[in-house]
Amino acid sequence: MTVNVQTPLQALRRRGLLRSRWPWRSAAYLLTTLPVIAVAGPLFAVLGLPWLYLMARHDQDRPSIGTVALLVVLGAVFVGGLGPVVAVPLGVLERARLRMVDDRAAGSGHRRPGPLSWLRVRYPEEATWRALAYALLLVTLVPAMLGLLAATLLMIAVLIAGPWLVGGGGEPVQLGLVSVGDPVAARWWAVVGVVLVPAVPYLVTFVAGAHAALARALLDGHTDGRLRAELVEVTRSRARLVDTFAAERRRIERDLHDGAQQRLVSLSLQLGLARLDVPPDSAAAVTIATAHEQAKQLMDELRELIHGIYPQVLGDVGLPTALQELADRSPVPVTVDADLPARPAAPAEVAAYFMVAEALTNAAKHSGATQVAVVVRQQRDTLTVEVSDNGRGGADPSRGTGLTGLADRVAAGGGRMLLSSPAAGPTVLRLELPCG
């Protein structure tokens, strides 16, 4: 399968780089970067004059703290206030130049302003400050990269020209990082330079690829838009899964309640009638009585199962009453303080109910608590549920799936769950959920 190469960094991972056009495209991209830096550098140097002055004065004498703070703030005001005026047009130019080494389209992340609203539209945009960050890196980091590349190329050229530079005078000549005075040694170093020549296209392509990757990361509005669109779609699909899961729970609860539970009730009634039709001291009476008791136990277990899948009282009368029912069934004394001005959305109610149920179960089984308090509040579009107990503490979600599953369900609903449980107690479990 043939993979389309679109960037210099992709080309470096393929064979045949020396026979491709990528080294030439990369060299052209780096060469055209120099005039851009030559124009943008002085502009940002003017904006950063307070910083440059501070660095110059720091080498001579130490200015006062007040002077340092004033110059730092003044430079930040100049660069942050006037920098976008330079950075935004520079970003347009750099997106156009990016096509020299990147076959993918690079779009602007800016909105289209009106004729008199450029400043009002541009300054609040994230794309503007990303463009400013790129501009600052272009006049600081990129020149350092290009300088290092130029020094490496110059060193290779000097090594190759070493035999002519050394000559026969016997005076040592600096060939890059080494000092050579012997023509024979200079020839060997020239061989080293010739061997390094094939590495030059790879080095040029790498530097151009790194520069292009930096430009795309900060200037490409398409990438930011795609990430935002994917995040929105993931959020929506997660919400759909939560709603589908809640609907499926209700369907299962309804099917069990209207189907299996009703059949068990009918079976229990028939067994009860059968007990009346047989002699009490017969063997059949014992068997029917045993079956009758097992049917009643199974009916109780099924009722608990149905209640655990989706509590009918929650759907009928709402969260406060459902929580009070949980408190009445708990072996640990529980106080419920639920002040809700309106009924929350169904997903928030379900998540809050099962969080309280899990917390009460853990308090009864593991904490040794003698008192549990449940506080429910709704402020605007946020439902807050807090369960606290006076137990021994030390609750750890990693030791069980209950709290972990609840945290996942809460996160899927756009909320968060917080747990505080020091070793000596108390344990506080807090749930915050959007309920609009």
Q: Please report, for the chain, the start and end positions of each structural domain, with discontinuous segments joined by +.
A: 8-219, 230-309, 314-434
In degrees and rounded to multiples of 5, residue 433 shows phi and psi of: -135, 140
| Alpha carbon distance 345, 239 (integer Å) | 13
Whose tokens are 């079956």? That residue is: 291
Which residue in 405, 388, 387, 389 sits closest to 397, CA to CA? 405
Strand, coil or helix: 431: strand
| Alpha carbon distance 26, 7 (integer Å) | 10
- Residue 255, CB half-sphere, CA atoms under 13 Å: how many? 7
Residue 419 and residue 402 in contact, taking contact as beta carbons nearer than 8 Å: no
Residue 102: both structure tokens together: 């990147």
pLDDT at 28: 94
| Alpha carbon distance 69, 53 (integer Å) | 13
pLDDT at 160: 87
Reply yes or no: is the peptide bond before residue 124 cis, omega within 30 of 0.
no
Question: Which residues are within 8 A (CB) of 261 and not within 5 positions of it... i.e. 6 or more apart?
Answer: 299, 302, 303, 306
Residue 295: both structure tokens together: 């049917």
Q: DSSP letter string over 348-397?
A: HHHHHHHHHHHHHHHIIIII--S-EEEEEEEETTEEEEEEEE-S-----G
CATH number of 314-434: 3.30.565.10
User: Cα–chain-centroid distance for residue 113?
Assistant: 31
Side chain identity, residue 223 = T
pTM beyond 0.75: the answer is no
Q: DSSP letter string over 119-186?
A: HHHHTT-HHHHHHHHHHHHHTTHHHHHHHHHHHHHHHHHHHHTHHHHHTTS---EEETTEEE--HHHH
For 257, which DSSP code? I
Report how far apart, in Å, the C-alpha atoms of 191 and of each of 91, 174, 201, 377 are: 43, 16, 18, 80
Question: Which residues are within 8 A (CB) of 193 and not within 5 positions of it... i.e. 6 or more apart?
Answer: 156, 157, 158, 159, 160, 162
Q: DSSP letter string over 297-353?
A: HHHHHHHHHHHHH--HHHHHH-HHHHHHHHHHH-SS-EEEEEE-SSPPPHHHHHHHH
| Alpha carbon distance 237, 272 (integer Å) | 50
pLDDT tens, per residue, the chain with 436 residues:
345 778 888 888 888 888 889 999 999 999 999 999 999 989 888 888 777 777 766 656 666 777 777 777 877 888 888 888 888 889 889 998 999 998 887 777 777 766 566 677 778 888 888 889 999 999 999 999 999 999 999 988 888 887 887 766 556 777 667 777 677 777 888 888 899 999 999 999 999 999 999 998 888 876 555 556 565 666 566 666 666 666 666 676 666 666 666 777 777 787 777 777 778 777 777 787 788 778 777 777 766 666 666 677 777 778 888 888 888 888 889 899 988 888 887 778 888 888 888 888 888 887 788 889 999 998 877 888 888 888 888 777 666 556 777 777 777 667 888 888 888 778 888 888 887 6
| Alpha carbon distance 296, 299 (integer Å) | 5
Residue 23: both structure tokens together: 């080294």
Give the max Cα distance, the chain: 131
pLDDT at 283: 75
Residue 80: both structure tokens together: 């942050």
Q: Detail the DSSP E strand segments found in 244-303.
A: none
Residue 204 and residue 28 in contact, taking contact as beta carbons nearer than 8 Å: no
